Every structure is written in C-alpha cells, then in structure tokens.
C-alpha cells in the first residue's frame, strides 16, 4: 500500500468514526456523510473524496473532509488531502470553507441543497495572486 492509499484509508476511517458521534442525527438532511467530486472549469474530474457535516448551532456547521487529486491540478488550491471544515446554511444554500484556519489561502464550496445532494461551485482564494474555480457535486451516502 503506498503512502497516498494509507492517508486516504486513515481519513475514511476518521470520517466513519466521526459520523457515528455526531451531535445531530445523521438521518436529518443535510447532516451526514457525502461522496464528493470536483471538476475544473472544463468539466474534467479533478477531485474525488468524502466529507462529513454535523451541526454546531442553528445554521452553523462543521465537519471533516478527505479529497484526493485525480488529475494534476496545480492551481486548484488547498482542496486535496484532509482537514476540518466550517460553514453555514442559509435557506437552501450551503457555504463551506475547507480551510477555516487559513484566511490567506482557502477553498470555499458554495451551492444549493436539493434532494440529498449539494451541488455548486468551488472557489480558491489566495491572497497574493492565485485564484481559480470549478464545480462540484456531493451526494449523501
């Protein structure tokens, strides 16, 4: 097993563990585990993984994510690997920051919640020069 497979396996185990200990019932949408795919502006698959959403307070969410880079995308920001996420729910929209501890270099997911899916745009914001965007689709598992 190579290093990347070990990291992905460990991340998935962590997500499964965390999904069993959520503060809110995982049967209540939008909370729970999601299968995630991200695409570049040309529609090519660039990321594949999972994330877990739990409620913190009212419309504030937190969770964890594990996403692997499936296509060499060097200008897609820090959306690969694993980490902690935060966000908020407003009406039928969900806003997620994959890198809440870094104000100068982060990836944000902005999309609509509909029929146990979360679809929309990912955006990379980097303080100095870089930025990029694409789309994503997350389906509840």
Q: How many domains is the chain built from?
A: 1
Q: State how far the Cα of 109 lies from the Cα of 31, in Å rounded to an integer.
A: 16
Q: Is the pLDDT of residue 7 over 80?
A: no
What average pLDDT is seen over the chain?
82
Bigger pLDDT: 10 vs 91: 91
Burial environment of residue 80 by CB neighbours within 10 A (0 to 12, 13 to 18, 19 or more): buried
pLDDT tier for residue 40 given thresholds of 50, 70 and 90: very high
Q: Which of 80-84, 92-96, 113-117 has the lowest mean pLDDT?
A: 113-117
pLDDT tier for residue 85 given thresholds of 50, 70 and 90: very high
Averaged over 39-48, what is the pLDDT? 94
Q: Is the pLDDT of residue 11 over 70?
A: no
Name the residue range of residue 62's domain: 3-140
Averaged over 60-64, what is the pLDDT? 94
Q: Is the pLDDT of residue 111 over 90?
A: yes
Q: Look up the CATH number of the domain holding residue 110.
A: 2.40.128.120
Q: Is the pLDDT of residue 105 over 70?
A: yes
Mention every residue, 6+ apart, whose C-beta is less than 8 A from residue 11: 49, 50, 64, 66, 82
Averaged over 2-7, what is the pLDDT? 52
Q: What is the DSSP letter of 138?
A: E
């Amino acid at each position: 097993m190579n290093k990347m497979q070990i990291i992905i396996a460990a991340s998935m185990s962590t997500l499964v563990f965390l999904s069993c200990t959520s503060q809110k019932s995982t049967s209540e949408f939008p909370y729970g585990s999601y299968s995630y795919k991200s695409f570049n502006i040309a529609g090519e698959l660039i990321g594949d993984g999972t994330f877990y959403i739990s409620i913190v307070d009212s419309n504030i969410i937190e969770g964890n994510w594990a996403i692997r880079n499936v296509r060499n995308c060097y200008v897609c920001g820090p959306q690969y690997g694993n980490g902690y996420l935060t966000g908020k729910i407003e009406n039928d929209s969900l806003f997620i920051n994959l890198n809440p501890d870094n104000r100068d270099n982060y990836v944000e997911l902005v999309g609509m919640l509909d029929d146990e899916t979360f679809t929309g745009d990912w955006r990379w914001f980097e303080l100095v020069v870089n930025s990029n965007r694409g789309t994503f689709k997350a389906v509840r598992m």
